[in-house]
Homo-oligomer: A and B are copies of this chain.
Amino acid sequence: MTDALPQGATIGILGGGQLGRMLSVAASRLGFHTHIYDPTANPPAGDVAHLVTTAPYEDNDALFAFASTVDVITYEFENIPTLTLDTLEDHAPIRPGREALRVSQDRLVEKDYLSGLGLRTADYADVPDAAALAIALTKIGAPSILKTRRFGYDGKGQMRIADPADADAAIAGMSDAPAILEGFVDFSHEVSVIAARGLDGAVACFDPGENVHRDGILHTTTVPARLSASQRTDAILIAANILNALDYVGVMGVELFVTPEGLVVNEIAPRVHNSGHWTQNGCVVDQFEQHIRAIAGWPLGDGKRHADVVMENLIGDDMNRVPDLACDPATALHLYGKAEARKGRKMGHINRIVT
């Protein structure tokens, strides 16, 4: 632990949503302070942080003041403006590093990067405009899916193309944003690996979880996932390959499609990931503490799982189920303290221990 942050050091977190909130709690367990930076007032993470700055990501004075109070900077989302990073990086190390952000901020760059590592992805093509889409469809065919290259999450910025005749509607749905066409992957199920890499290059992975989505949003993650021993090994090797290539420090979520021909990388997220929330009740060191350990230069937890868990997101009206869920002795509640339960909004999650 030569480069390890000492007790009482301060960790700066860009973004104060539920991920920042749970990172902040984990940091406190290791004796660190946290300073949350978020453009929105009263962010969920503010409830459990030592300091909160409310300012836009373009406010250089606020960024400078923030950076001067912290020993290391991390983030809960990948779409941080480049200029924000330029301002911050002179004052404190940013972990995970900028290469991971550059790669994951753009679906086309990400696919090129993953293919370049020899990993299998969906077929894809760059779609800067309608003409390119027509060409891409002759190559990739339908069904396929058109996605904005940047800023998509939880199914936003995506249009399915069931038939080439849908092309015009799909391109209109991109609102002139650069896009990428992705081929259909005939997968049996999706799994994700929550992987971590320390400052010393050590890699540790949690058991792969099996993900079910509803309306484009993660619904449940179940561990263990349905995987053969060799698939499990392959999933971990893929994740480690990506982390090492990026000289990554921190936790990453790697989504994989399970197909008869092998595992196909869907996407990567350079941060703690919704599909890793089960670790809070299944592991001695959860993904949030694992991330803090990594960016603080501490040894990683080994990722061992001591329980089978089903994680379920509580979205919008699901909050009405909380009184019932609170009565279930096998259910651990994790609520985010958000004031308004809007449709499609992640309000909390539960981890149900399976015995």
Contact = CB atoms under 8 A, between A and B. Distances in A.
Interface string A324-353: 001101111111111100000000100001
A214 interface: no
B28 A21 contact: yes
Interface string A193-227: 00000000000000000000000000000000000
Contacts of A307: 306
Contacts of A47: 28, 33-34, 49-50
B284 A337 contact: no
Nearest to A52: B50
A53 to B, nearest CB: 16
B285 A332 contact: yes
A304 interface: yes
A30 B335 contact: yes
Contacts of A332: 284-285
Contact of A298 (B50, B326, B338): B326
A183 to B, nearest CB: 41
Interface in A24-73: 24-25, 28-34, 46-50
Most buried by B among A24, A46, A48: A48
A329 B284 contact: yes
A262 interface: no
A155 interface: no
Interface string A5-25: 001100000000000010011
A80 B355 CA distance: 43
B306 A353 contact: yes
A319 interface: yes
Copies of this chain in its oligomeric complex: 2
A301 interface: yes
Contacts of A334: 29
Nearest to A304: B329
Given A8-B339, A48-B25, A339-B8, A30 B333 contact: yes
Interface string A283-308: 01100000001000011011010110
Contacts of A329: 284-285, 301-302, 304
A24 B335 CA distance: 13
A46 B24 CA distance: 13
Nearest to A21: B28
A338 to B, nearest CB: 8
Contacts of A301: 329
A336 to B, nearest CB: 7
Given A24-B48, A30-B333, 14 more contacts: A7-B319, A7-B322, A25-B25, A25-B48, A29-B333, A31-B336, A31-B337, A281-B284, A284-B331, A284-B332, A284-B353, A299-B323, A299-B327, A306-B355
